[in-house]
């Protein structure tokens, strides 16, 4: 397997405090990597540095073998991002929003691509509805559709299923797994849903206080920390009871 994202010695210090402290990991083609940890563990800051939204204090991020800070536009053409904390222009319809982002990413055959994603995320009946009239779950699905517009090779997701009902969350996970299997899509995502993490991730990176404290397959992590589930491991770590 080929590493699409390489993180080496990544560190971010804010006002003398290390939010992310010398972390290194890889994200491989066709892999779903879960980034987990308690609040303040440094997950979101890590994601921001991977997307070049925050400049690292030291260390390096390479995507497709190139430094993100140096080859940003070319890399971001084949990368995308979605978060339950961002939205889209409220006055525009779903179709207008998707069409604008399709243009920004240089997507050919935009109308067909939008139709295809609308079917996958079950948003075809709201394509001509302004975003302000949508529920938060519908907005999350539209943002996920936006994140797949450019057929990315790497997808970063920040709590992607946080506002979705169990049915749509399950369908979304299946859809992402299918794309991963078909095209080798690599996904790095954060979530506080440990059950989802356990079932969905090929591998997890466990962070606490800015550091990676464990990395590996969910079963391996459970075994190492003596937990019956990732949730149990999470609670042990968050409460300082981990071995």
Partner 1 sequence: MNLWRVFAYATRHLYLYKRSLPRLMEVFYWPLLDLLLWGFVTVYLGRLQTPVPGFVTFFIGALILWDMLFRSQQGISVSFLEDVWSRNLLNIFVSPMTQAEYIASLLVISVVKLILTSTVMITLAFVLYSYNVFHMGLSLIPLIANLIVMGWSIGIITTALILRFGQEAEVLAWGVALLFQPVSAVFYPVSVLPPPLRAVARFTPSAHVFEGMRSVIASGVFPTGEALWAAGLNAAYLSLAIAFFSWNFRVVKKKGLLVKIGE
Least CB distance to partner 1 at residue 191 (A): 18
Least CB distance to partner 1 at residue 37 (A): 18
Buried b (16+ CB within 10 A) or exposed e, 121-149: bebeebbeeebeebeebbbbbbbbbbbbb
Binding status of residue 133 toward partner 1 by CB under 8 A: no
Q: Which is nearer to partner 1, 1 or 17 (CB)?
A: 17
Is residue 83 within 8 A of residue 160, CB to CB? The reply is yes
* Segment (H or E) for 137: helix 136-148
**123 vs 24, 114, 117, 230, 238, CA distance in Å?**
38, 10, 8, 32, 38
Per CB under 8 A, the segment of 35-43, 94-102, 117-125, 198-206 that binds partner 1 is 94-102
Whole-number Å distance between alpha carbons of 237 and 243:
9
Whole-number Å distance between alpha carbons of 72 and 64:
11
Q: DSSP character for 125?
A: G
Binding status of residue 92 toward partner 1 by CB under 8 A: yes
The site map against partner 1 for 145-184 (x = CB under 8 A) is -x--------------------------------------
Binding status of residue 81 toward partner 1 by CB under 8 A: yes
The site map against partner 1 for 182-211 (x = CB under 8 A) is ------------------------------
Tokens of 119: 């079917």
Whole-number Å distance between alpha carbons of 20 and 33:
18
Which of 30, 60, 72, 179 lies at the binding interface for partner 1 (CB under 8 A)?
Answer: 72
Whole-number Å distance between alpha carbons of 69 and 33:
22
Binding status of residue 39 toward partner 1 by CB under 8 A: no
Q: Which is nearer to partner 1, 14 or 199 (CB)?
A: 14
Binding status of residue 17 toward partner 1 by CB under 8 A: no
Q: Which residue in 94, 149, 100 sits closest to 127, CA to CA?
A: 94
Q: How many residues bind partner 1 (CB under 8 A)?
A: 40
Which of 14, 133, 165, 183 lies at the binding interface for partner 1 (CB under 8 A)?
Answer: 14
Instruction: Give contact residues for partner 1 (rule: CB under 8 A).
Output: 12, 14, 19, 44-45, 48, 51-55, 72-74, 76-77, 79-81, 83, 85-93, 96, 100-101, 103-106, 130-131, 143, 146
């Amino acid at each position: 397997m080929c590493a699409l994202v390489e993180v080496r010695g990544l560190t971010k210090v804010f006002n003398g405090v290390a939010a992310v402290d010398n972390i290194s990991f890889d994200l491989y083609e066709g892999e779903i990597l879960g980034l987990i940890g308690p609040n303040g563990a440094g997950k979101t800051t890590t994601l921001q540095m991977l997307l070049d939204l925050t400049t690292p204090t030291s260390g390096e991020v390479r995507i497709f073998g190139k430094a993100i800070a140096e080859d940003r536009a070319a890399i971001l053409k084949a990368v995308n991002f979605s978060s339950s904390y961002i939205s889209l222009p409220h006055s525009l319809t779903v179709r207008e929003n998707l069409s604008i982002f399709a243009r920004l990413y240089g997507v050919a055959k935009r109308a067909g691509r939008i139709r295809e994603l609308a079917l996958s995320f079950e948003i075809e009946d709201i394509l001509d509805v302004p975003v302000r009239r949508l529920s938060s779950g519908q907005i999350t699905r539209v943002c996920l559709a936006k994140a797949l517009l450019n057929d990315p090779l790497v997808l970063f997701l920040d709590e992607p299923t946080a506002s979705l009902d169990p049915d749509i969350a399950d369908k979304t996970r299946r859809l992402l797994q299918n794309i991963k299997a078909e095209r080798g899509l690599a996904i790095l995502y954060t979530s506080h849903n440990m059950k989802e993490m356990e079932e969905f991730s090929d591998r997890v990176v466990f962070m606490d206080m800015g550091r990676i404290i464990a990395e590996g397959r969910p079963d391996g992590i459970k075994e190492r920390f003596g937990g019956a589930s990732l949730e149990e491991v999470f609670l042990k770590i968050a409460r300082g009871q981990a071995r």
